[in-house]
Amino acid sequence: MGVAREVQIADGAAEANFVSDLLRRFRAFYGGERVDFTDVGLDLEWCTPFQADVAAALQRVPWGELVSYGELAAIAGYPRAHRAVGTFCAGNRFSLLLPCHRVVAGNGIGSYGPDGIATKRRLLRLEGHAAL
């Protein structure tokens, strides 16, 4: 299910403006600009309470910052749930809006679900992490 189907939008005009704004932000991000997606309202009704807490914690990880799976688990209030956080990130439906690319393994880059490590590295390089 894509972003357009899961983002809450009030009416047609608002939808057009929302989509235009989101596309502008995506282009800016992929152009290397610092972009904030935290104000994009997502319908997270499909989430369990744990997943909703992880999603909220992810949105607090700033552009250009990295956290480990364990650190994100602790931020979300589940300090021993690093593997469950990894599972959530692997199935993340909202890539840039819930920035799992900023979550790394304690001993390296970690994985990035079906999009792969190359995509994760590309996103991190766009945020200034050339060494990864």
Q: Which domain holds residue 87?
A: 3-126
Q: What's the CATH number where 60 sits?
A: 1.10.10.10
Q: What is the pLDDT of residues 53-88, one digit of tens each?
A: 999 999 999 999 999 999 999 999 999 999 999 999
Domain count, the chain: 1
Q: How far apart are CA 92 and CA 90, in angstroms?
A: 6
Residues 92 and 99: their CA atoms lie apart, in Å, by 9
Displacement of CA 76 from its chain's centroid (Å): 14
Concerning whether 100 is annotated as a catalytic residue, the answer is yes
Catalytic residue among 58, 81, 97, 100: 100
Cβ-count burial 18-49 (b if 16+ within 10 Å, e if not): beeebeebbeebeeeeebebeebebeeeebee
pLDDT > 70 fraction of the chain, expressed in percent and rounded: 87
**Whole-number Å distance between alpha carbons of 30 and 80:** 34
In a domain, 7, yes or no: yes
The answer as to whether 117 is a domain residue is yes
Residue with the larger pLDDT of the pair 93 and 21: 21
Q: Examine residue 68 and state whether it is found in any structural domain, yes or no.
A: yes
Inter-residue contact 52 to 98 (CB < 8 Å) = no
54 assigned to some structural domain: yes
pTM summary value: 0.82
Contact 105, 120 (CB under 8 A): no
In a domain, 131, yes or no: no
The verdict on residue 132 lying in a domain is no
